[in-house]
Amino acid sequence: MQQQMQTTGGTTHAELDAWVKEVAAHTRPDRVVWVTGSDEEIEQINAELVAAGTFTKLAEDKKPNSYHALSDPQDVARVEDRTYICSVEEKDAGPTNNWMDPQEMKDLLWPLFEGSMAGRTMYVIPFVMGHLEADDPKFGVEITDSAYVVASMRIMARIGTNILRVMEEKQAPYVKGLHSVGAPLAEGQEDVPWPCNETKYIVHFPEELAIWSYGSGYGGNALLGKKCYALRIASVMARDEGWLAEHMLILKLTSPQDEVHYIAASFPSACGKTNLAMIQPTIPGWKAELVGDDIAWMRFGEDGRLYAVNPEFGLFGVAPGTGRSTNPVAMDTIERGNSIFTNVARTLDGDVWWEGMTDEPPAELVDWHGERWTPESEGPSSHPNSRFCTPIRQVPTIADEYDDPRGVPISAIMFGGRRKTTIPLVTESRDWQHGTFIASTLSSETTAAATGAVGVVRRDPMAMLPFMGYNASDYFAHWLELGKSADASKLPKIFLVNWFRRGDDGRFLWPGFGENSRVLKWMVERIEGRVDATESPIGYLPHPEDLDIDGLSLPEEDVTAALAFDPEEWEAEVPLIKEWFEKFGEELPAALRDELAILEQRLAGQ
Ligand code: GDP
Ligand code: PGA
Ligand code: MN
Ligand code: MN
């Protein structure tokens, strides 16, 4: 018996229409709404979220048109152990991803979706990642039973009827994203402010261009355009089509000589991408503008250079640590409002606060559990992975090129992570192959952006460990291959950086944030061929006098220690790299093994 479901909107895209009807019949929502993206629609959705207790509206004079949300305390981060790449062949997912046979996974999940939207509205969100005017626009549709997801997707991606119309014209292919919080409501059952399910699955079917996400409302698990599509599924598309989908910010830098360089940088989650993308240089005459803060899609242009676009429309930034002294651009951005704040503390006068926003906390707050908090309270007021979700167009330093579907030509790629020891402030790779080796062995202390232990060193190749949609050895081979087929003189230089090295007493050796512009300046001088460097077993290091530390009030020994290559630390690092490479067995590209051998030889020859 097919129940008559109230539906608002619809499509002439026959295949999409059939899929939406199939999902609705199975998940049995009360109504189906095709999301238009209009202002009136979002006003109504926000009002519903306020009525449901999910959102609290912030004071208009503090953060206009902005909302505060508290998640279920168990639903605060990406769940990597519940994330699967269900490729047809197991070897196409391995060895770094969870895998299950696609049919087996569907047999397990489809019953979970049965009736999972009961008592709720099913929203259909047409979206495009990247520009609608791109040569080959990358469409998606997310079906979700979460109004919070709709409100967030409207900030994070280009969504709505104008996208759907273009999809219809072309009867275009698209990525199918199916999301349910997994909390059906029985007749008359009262809802909770943050519905979710203890059972969570974040599942990708790369051959079918499909994503099924169940049980979580958290950003990285539920906003399917972001990590699931623009990284995991897109990395597979990129492998097949000869481009790169990477976990990188894109920064435009203008030197005092008016040279423009675009730099991409890849750091694991919560390791400084958003901050670097919004950097305010502390050195005179340098200007920085933002193109992207989390994801870069890169392909070679006709001129042989590597061009990057930011496929996103918003920022989903780590709140704690963001303040006037560290990231004034982010503070100016959120001040303009139109934002969603999740799992941060609320002030009594209708604003938000989190650790690091100001030196002194307010005397009283409502913490991320919804409880009274004072500076004497145990634990932080905001969850360490609490987030702001803000339209990218509000960033005062946004570069005009953000709107260019052709993207920007990349001069340098930086890789980095959080390492207390071993990794110097900046190292330049010898060439693309060596840079790929460095990236494939990238390591970082884990953060609160994913569930699990925090502060444990793990290998996170290209900062893509949780986001590679296919076999890691094939992914490394793809990087090497692209480098080989390109004109070497036009390839971006590859650098390794570490803002997080510490002294014996645990203090950061390098002040970071705006001062990172000093490292960017050295990189540009290397690109322009203006300075020499010291060759070391791990790559080129700056001559200490070439790092501009003018006006930096810092003990000179800290700078020296931050820059230092320490052979003993590297002797200890090599076995860890070897152990990491063992994971890949024979599949590991020979070029990476060669690079490891070169590193060992050079260390031995010290
Ligand atoms: P993303 O998740 O990679 O975009 O990282 P964010 O830029 O949001 O930064 C994550 C956390 O690292 C925040 O708490 C920042 O305050 C902190 N952070 C960012 N850049 C630096 C830096 O240069 N030095 C130090 N010490 N902390 C930083
Ligand atoms: P991040 O993005 O890299 O800015 O932390 C979210 C995530 O990776 O979970
Ligand atoms: Mn990220
Ligand atoms: Mn970020």
- Cα 449 to middle of ligand 4, angstroms: 10
The share of the chain scoring above pLDDT 90, in percent, equals 98
User: Do the annotations mark residue 200 as ligand-binding?
Assistant: no
Q: Is 274 in the pocket of ligand 2 (CB under 6 A)?
A: yes
* pLDDT at residue 360, rounded to an integer: 96
Q: Closest residue (by CA) to atom 3 of ligand 2?
A: 269
Distance CA 432, CA 522 (A): 19
4 pLDDT more than 80: no
Smallest CA separation from ligand 1 atom 6, residue: 272
Cα 247 to ligand 3 centre (Å): 6
Which residues, listed in sequence order, are joined to residue 297 by a DSSP beta bridge? 245, 309
Give, for ligand 2, the residue of 269, 278, 383, 386 to mutate: max count of ligand atoms closer than 8 Å to Cβ: 269
* Residue nearest atom 5 in ligand 2 by C-alpha distance: 269
- CB atoms within 5 A of ion ligand 4 belong to 273-274
269 Cβ inside 6 Å of ligand 2 = yes
CB of residue 270 inside a 6 A radius of ligand 2: yes
Consecutive H or E run containing 264: strand 260-266
200 touches ligand 1 (CB under 6 Å): no
The one-character DSSP state at 66 is: -
Q: What ligand has the least distance to the C-alpha of 321?
A: 1
Tokens for 149?
A: 């997801």
Q: Which amino acid is at 225?
A: G
Residue 320 has pLDDT above 60, yes or no: yes
Superfamily of domain 6-53+79-241: Phosphoenolpyruvate Carboxykinase, domain 1 (3.40.449.10)
Write out pLDDT tens, residues 42-60: 999 999 999 999 999 999 9
Q: How many CB atoms lie under 10 A from the CB of residue 25?
A: 11
What percent of the chain is predicted at pLDDT more than 70?
99
Give pTM, 2 decimals.
Answer: 0.98
Q: Please give the number of the atom of ligand 1 that sits closest to the Cα of 294.
A: 4
The span from the CA of 562 to the CA of 546, in Å, is 14
**Distance, CA of 318 to CA of 389 (rounded, Å):** 9
Question: One-letter amino acid identity for 330?
Answer: A
Count Cβ neighbours within 10 Å for each residue of 542-577 and write b for 16 or more, e otherwise.
beeebbbeeebeeeeebbebbbbbeeeebeebeeeb
Residue found by looking up tokens 């009594």 in the block: 348
Q: Which atom of ligand 1 is nearest to the CA of 293?
A: 4
Helices 432-440 and 590-604: crossing angle in degrees, nearest 10, is: 90
Q: Which residue(s) pair with 36 in the sheet?
A: none
Residue 259 is given by DSSP the state -
Residue ranges covered by each domain of the chain: 6-53+79-241, 245-313+399-565, 315-394
Q: Which structure tokens are listed for 420?
A: 């207390």
Which ligand is located closest to the Cα atom of residue 265? 1
pLDDT number for residue 606: 79
Residue 58 pLDDT: 98
Ligand lying nearest the CA atom of residue 327? 1
Ligand 1 contact, 84 CB (< 6 A): no
Per-residue pLDDT, 275: 98
Beta bridge mates, 210: 176, 205
Please determine, for residue 393, whether its predicted confidence score (pLDDT) is greater than 50: yes
Candidates 34, 16, 449, 32; CA nearest to 210 is: 16
Same fold, 245-313+399-565 and 315-394: no
- Residue 1, pLDDT score: 43
Which pair of tokens denotes residue 151? 């409100």
Alpha-carbon 597 to chain mean position? 33
Average pLDDT of the chain to the nearest whole number: 97
pLDDT tens digits for range 486-501: 999 999 999 999 999 9
Consult the annotation and say whether 551 binds a ligand.
Answer: no
Query: Is any ligand 1 atom within 6 A of the Cβ of residue 161?
Result: no
**Ligand 2: residue whose CA is nearest its atom 8:** 269
Secondary structure element (H or E) that encloses residue 527, with its range: helix 517-527
Atom index in ligand 2 nearest the CA of residue 466 equals: 8
pLDDT-derived band at 200 (thresholds 50, 70, 90) equals: very high
Sequence-distant (≥ 6) Cβ neighbours of residue 586 within 8 angstroms: none
ipTM: 0.98
Evaluate if residue 339 carries a pLDDT over 50: yes
- By most ligand atoms within 8 Å of CB, the mutation choice from 156, 246, 271, 358 for ligand 1 is 271
Q: Is the CB of 512 under 6 A from ligand 1?
A: yes
Which one is catalytic: 86, 196, 228, 271? 271
Q: Which two tokens stand for residue 298?
A: 């890169």
Mean pLDDT of 440-459: 95
Burial 386-413 (b: 16+ CB within 10 A, else e): bbbbbbbebbebbbebbeeeebbbbbbb
Residue 277 has pLDDT above 80, yes or no: yes
- Cα diameter, the chain: 78
**DSSP bridge partners of 245:** 297
The CATH number of domain 245-313+399-565, selected from 3.30.590.10, 3.50.50.60, 3.90.228.20, 1.10.10.10: 3.90.228.20
- Was 247 annotated as part of a binding site? yes
Q: Is the Cβ atom of 78 under 6 angstroms away from ligand 2? A: yes
Dist. CA 49–CA 67, nearest whole Å: 9
Quote the CA–CA distance of 559 and 427 in Å, as a whole number. Answer: 14
Amino acid identity of residue 188, one-letter, is G
pLDDT in tens, 68-124: 999 999 999 999 999 999 999 999 999 999 999 999 999 999 999 999 999 999 999
User: Which helix (DSSP H) or strand (DSSP E) does residue 34 occupy?
Assistant: strand 31-34
Residue type, 441: T
- At 471 the three-state DSSP class reads coil
**CA 504 to ligand 1 center in whole angstroms:** 21
Residue 456: is it exposed, middle or buried by C-beta count within 10 angstroms (0-12/13-18/19+)?
exposed
Whether 86 sits among the annotated catalytic residues: the reply is no
Q: List the CATH code of the domain at 315-394.
A: 2.170.8.10
E strand or H helix that includes residue 8:
strand 6-8
Rounded to an integer, the average pLDDT of 241-257 is 98
* Per-residue model confidence (pLDDT) at position 3: 54
Closest listed residue to residue 491, CA positions, set 560, 409, 567: 409
Residue 582, phi then psi, degrees to nearest 5: -60, -30
